[in-house]
Amino acid sequence: MAESRRLEGRVVIATHNAGKLEEMRGLLAPYGVEAVSAGDLGLPEPEETGLTFGENARIKAFSAAKLTGLPAFADDSGLCVEALGGAPGLYTARWAGPEKDFMAAMTRVEEELRDADANLPGLRRAYFISALCVAWPDGHAEDFEGVVWGTLVWPPRGPAGFGYDPMFQPDGHERTFGEMTGAEKHGLPPLGRGLSHRARAFISLAESCFGARFDERGRD
């Protein structure tokens, strides 16, 4: 990883996804940065040609930094299902189609699990992964990653969150992400436990770029 650099002032959140934007703004809020989204600025969405989540996060972050002359913060994340060979993986958003129909995407996951005879909880293991990148216009970048494991349930439960949240029940919990409040899902210590993949990646980012310190409750 490159030598850490403090993140301050105005920052572009390189996303057009309203759900991600809400979470990322919430994570950045305590650190006094002014966050503006790529969507707010009318920036184009770069083609995500990376072969990993980290590569795609870098593509988005560097695109926004270059176009605005400001530091940019990007996330690339996805759902990886063991019984489906890691799918949808990098294509997590694409499974929802151009209409961003995540009910249809969750239904596809469920149908493919049934086709794979993955009907018992132990056969329905999956994880969410988040790769974060902070990029500066001069080419400096820092990368972070977080993972949370769980079991896929059917039917989906809960109206909260976004994407595949209603069918993902994280390990050690009886409720899905779709049944949790934002604070429960991605709140950071001491108010939350840094449960989500994005929160876990952000803990490392905050320690590097803001000098934050978290106890072990933020790393379970």
Tens digits of residue pLDDT in 32-43: 888 899 989 999
- CATH value at residue 133: 3.90.950.10
Q: Containing domain of residue 93, as a range? A: 10-219
Question: Is residue 1 one of the residues assigned to a domain?
Answer: no
Residue 158 resides in a domain: yes
Neighbours of 49 (CB within 10 A): 8
- The three-point CA angle 91-88-157 to 5° equals 115
In a domain? residue 5: no
In a domain, 130, yes or no: yes
Residue 174 belongs to a domain? yes
pLDDT tens per residue across span 181-195: 988 998 887 667 789
Which two structure tokens, joined as six digits, stand for 135? 């990029």
pLDDT band at 220 (very low <50, low <70, confident <90, very high): very low
Q: Into how many domains does the chain fold? A: 1
Task: Report which of 188, 130, 162, 167 is spatially closest to residue 18, judged by C-alpha positions.
Answer: 162
Residue 181's alpha-carbon distances to 1, 21, 80, 189, in angstroms, are 33, 16, 23, 15
Q: Is residue 160 part of a domain?
A: yes
pLDDT digits (tens, 9 = 90+) for 92-138: 999 999 999 999 999 999 999 999 999 999 999 999 999 999 999 99
Instruction: Report the 10 Å Cβ neighbour count for 128.
Output: 24
Active site residues: 76
Residue 217 has pLDDT above 80, yes or no: no
